[in-house]
Structure 1
Amino acid sequence: MFSNTAFRYMPYVLLWTVVSGALLYYYLTFSGAFRVPHILLTRANSTSGRTAATTQTPAHANRSLMTTVNVSSVVTQMAKTLPNHTVTSAVNFSAAVEFLPDMEGKNISAIFLGYDHKFDNSAIAKKNPYGIRYKGKKRKGGKPQEILCALKKNIIKFLDPDASPYKEIGLGRYITNLTLADVFPDLFNSCAIVASSNFLVNSSLGQVIDKNHAVFRFNSAPLKGYEKDVGTRTTVRIINTPVLGRVKSKNYTNSMFHQGVFFLWRTGPYNGNLYRWFMDRSAANFFKSYMQWQETYPDVHKFLVNPGSLWRQWDTVQGFTPKNLKKIGVSSGFVGLVIALQVCREVNYYGYVTPKGKVYGCHYYDKPNSKSCNSTFHFHPLAQEKALVMSLDVRAQNKSITGEDGIVTVPGFSTITCKGDRTATKRH
């Protein structure tokens, strides 16, 4: 039997037990001693309908990961500062950042928002989601040399591991520190860019395409079964947001994803704000797929295009177009051309500019009545892009119509001399 004294102190004993237990839980949770194992997170994500992380050994082993709950909490906090029409949900976004290293002792929200406040984001609105503020001149066309020099002045650039705010939160480890000159130490004499247009069906251009020193292709355009028309070789692939976001981790075993050099791009804010680019509602699947791919094949060269430099190409197209362009970025086709001009002495573009400007809405590999037919034309300023590229065809003589055979030849940046070349010719 307990004495009255024992009963008198029982409430204090219980209180001490509860408080000490809470303190112990708090310490274990926030000191990093207690974490949800990554394999449990992976299984939980898989059963909840989200793509599971790759099961292969990570390229950067022995690093701890944030739990999905912590990430969701941080993202929810950051999302409150952004317009609803631009930000992804916390649940979807957390799937993309499971690969972040341990952020203990760092306030992710403060890092991102401190960076964000350096930009004037007032132009970003529902009717102008990218916050476009073009202040340059607008005129109809120009001389080929003038247009090429404008493109060369604003060459496409790529993210590096030290780019803020990614360096501060650990995302820099997924970004290559190589430059174009590292991967392509010598310029290619001739390059083929193969559009995915169904103009190429029955074109018999395959052998002509393969004679080029390098071949550029787009997204997941296949070769098998189409070799006669599109060739057999691939040196570079240009991949955009929707395509990469739809890729499942198991598909990285496909040779398409571990052979060649890859340039990945997605449109971001006009002002180059990488935080808004990272938080955009279409970003979650893109970043998660990219990180899984980097984990699985770290030795495959992958360049992330700096979204701000894409808009400088848009500025160039707008500068040589008298009417206002659509408030959306340039197409993969135009991105691929400008990248090729940076590493090739001559670029032969197949199926981009077509005879008499005829529109070919489907891909060469699409089935009849495919949903992807004509989808591209609703988004990018393709007509204006193609008009600009057509004017650059060096084979055009005496103002004759170019592209009659579906081929346009453009001289590379290294072959022309422009004002300020000392800085412009550097291959980033």
Structure 2
Amino acid sequence: MDACPRLWRGPRRTWRGCVCITFACLCLAVLYFVCTETGVMLRSQHRGPRRPWQGRAGPVEKLIRGVQIAPQSSANATPASASPHRNASGPPLTPARQAAGPPPAGGGWISGLAGFFRRLLLAMLGDRQRGASLDFPGGRLPWRVWDQAAGSSALNRRLQKVFKAYRAMNKYSVPPQGRGARPPRRRSGQELLCQLRSRVRVRTLGAQLPPFNTAEWATILPARNLSQELGPLANCAVVSSAGSIRSSRLGREIDSHDAVLRFNTAPTSKYQDDVGKKTTVRLINSQVMASKEHRFLENPLYTEGTLVAWDPAPYSADLQEWYNKPDYPIFTRYKEYRKRQPAQPFHILHPSVQWQLWEVIQENAGEEIQRNPPSSGLLGALLMMSLCERVHIYEYLPSRRQTDLCHYYERFQDAACTLGAYHPLLFEKNLVKRINQGSDLDIFHSGKVTVPGFQVLNCSGVSY
């Protein structure tokens, strides 16, 4: 019983001590990994409290308020009962997991442990085959990459009611199915990228466009567009506000990019290790600008980097109609901000961008989606694809850290933040998964999607 102490009584037995210590360290490392994986699994199955109702009470909102959360729901994104475009870019929940249901009784922990060692082996060997399957047998365990073929049938009962209600609401006068007919076949990732470049013209408002061609607007709208302002950019990062980015330790990797885009109220202070500290562009929605809670005019958070604002507009994207009746008072707040911060670079996204993007999503969705604009998350990704040669999008699709937490800087949890209620998030993420040029292992470990910028995209000979 005193074998290990005797190892240190002479130099001849030192090697035996090294073997003993090495074996003990290996056991501790395996125990650490098992505990970590188990902790994430438990967090992914935890359902947080419901959020008190806040916002306007219309017919759809009343329906949403009356719907109960299904027991199996688990994810993190914009609450279905929250006011419209609060969700910047919620973190990911695999739709296939909801469709598959809970793991079989009795064998969950055994298969989970087996799956852990399988994933550990994949991590050690690397992803030798792009898109290597990280699913568990039967698709029953919580570690899956995003299922790009998921549809509304994968939603739980509560979210299906919300989905149908928003689809029927049609606040922005969207014609059925959009303008384009659905393709006769499923487009490849390259075809989708070329379609996005061809169909979506990413631009901001200028003083030459009526009703902004007045002396007042000429003095406050930027004279240069975003590309001229930011210059040539090679590698860019789009950082989701998802709660699953917590404990990711991705901060240094994110800051290594030439430019970093963040969303709405997402802070960097206190979270640098996970999200980095560099902010080149901040995309904000008009609800944040109008909210007293976020102190848009006073908060120094909104003086860092270049600001780009957006507001849901009618499907026609008629500037005069939008100017007369915006969703939130974006133009009033913009003028107030510019008076206080005249040197701050501040742009407004042209409303046609959101609906051109919506049409591409709808055309490739396979079913009718919500007739509401895309989320800030996808708009931000598209914005950086128009400016950069390569874009990495973090935690917009699921990683192994998936959680019910909606935002990494808040405590609120809700399943709708991932799959969407107001925004067609489910179908947006299907599209992003299809255009990803990175590996499934990148998504699993880092929640990282890799897409090329439009300027380097080769579409010659590609039909879309």
Q: How does 1:159-170 map to 2 (within 5 A)?
A: 159-168=205-214, 170=216
Could you report, residue by residue, the CA deviation over 1:74-133 in whole angstroms, capped at 9, with x for unpaired residues?
Answer: xxxxxxxxxxxxxxxxxxxxxxxxxxxxxxxxxxxxxxxxxxxxxxxxxxxx93221112
Q: Percent identity?
A: 28
The CA distance in 2 between the partners of 1:420 and 1:142, in whole Å, is 14
Match of 1:408 among 449, 461, 464: 449
Pairwise CA distance, 1:321:
1.1
Q: How does 1:22-421 map to 2 (within 5 A)?
A: 127-133=169-175, 134-139=178-183, 141-153=186-198, 154-168=200-214, 170-186=216-232, 188-246=233-291, 252-280=297-325, 282-284=327-329, 286-355=330-399, 360=404, 362-368=406-412, 374=417, 377-396=420-439, 403-405=443-445, 406-418=447-459
The CA distance in 2 between the partners of 1:368 and 1:185, in whole Å, is 38
The CA distance in 1 between the partners of 2:349 and 2:189, in whole Å, is 25
CA pair 377-145 structure 1, distance change in 2 beyond 3 A: same
The residue that corresponds to 1:28 in the other structure is: none
Contact 2:236 2:384 in 1 (8 A): yes
Highest CA radius of gyration, 1 or 2?
1
- The SS at the match of 1:262 is strand
Pairwise CA distance, 1:352:
0.4
Could you report, residue by residue, the CA deviation over 1:292-339 in whole angstroms, capped at 9, with x for unpaired residues?
Answer: 111111221111111122100111111111101101000000000011
TM-score (norm 2): 0.58
Pairwise CA distance, 1:379:
0.8
CA pair 221-146 structure 1, distance change in 2 beyond 3 A: same
CA pair 306-169 structure 1, distance change in 2 beyond 3 A: same
Contact 1:161 1:167 in 2 (8 A): yes
Contact 1:193 1:336 in 2 (8 A): yes
CA pair 302-212 structure 1, distance change in 2 beyond 3 A: same
In structure 2, give the amino acid aligned to 1:333.
G
- The SS at the match of 2:283 is strand
In structure 2, give the amino acid aligned to 1:242.
Q
The CA distance in 2 between the partners of 1:137 and 1:341, in whole Å, is 25
The CA distance in 1 between the partners of 2:365 and 2:412, in whole Å, is 34
Could you report, residue by residue, the CA deviation over 1:214-256 in whole angstroms, capped at 9, with x for unpaired residues?
Answer: 1110011011111111111111100001111115897545332
What RMSD in Å do the two structures reach over aligned CA positions? 2.9
CA pair 372-174 structure 1, distance change in 2 beyond 3 A: farther
CA pair 360-314 structure 1, distance change in 2 beyond 3 A: farther
In structure 1, give the amino acid aligned to 2:363.
G
In structure 1, give the amino acid aligned to 2:170.
N
Matched residues, number: 291
CA pair 380-206 structure 1, distance change in 2 beyond 3 A: same
Choose between structure 1 and 2 for higher RCO, CA contacts under 8 A separated by at least 6 residues. Answer: 2
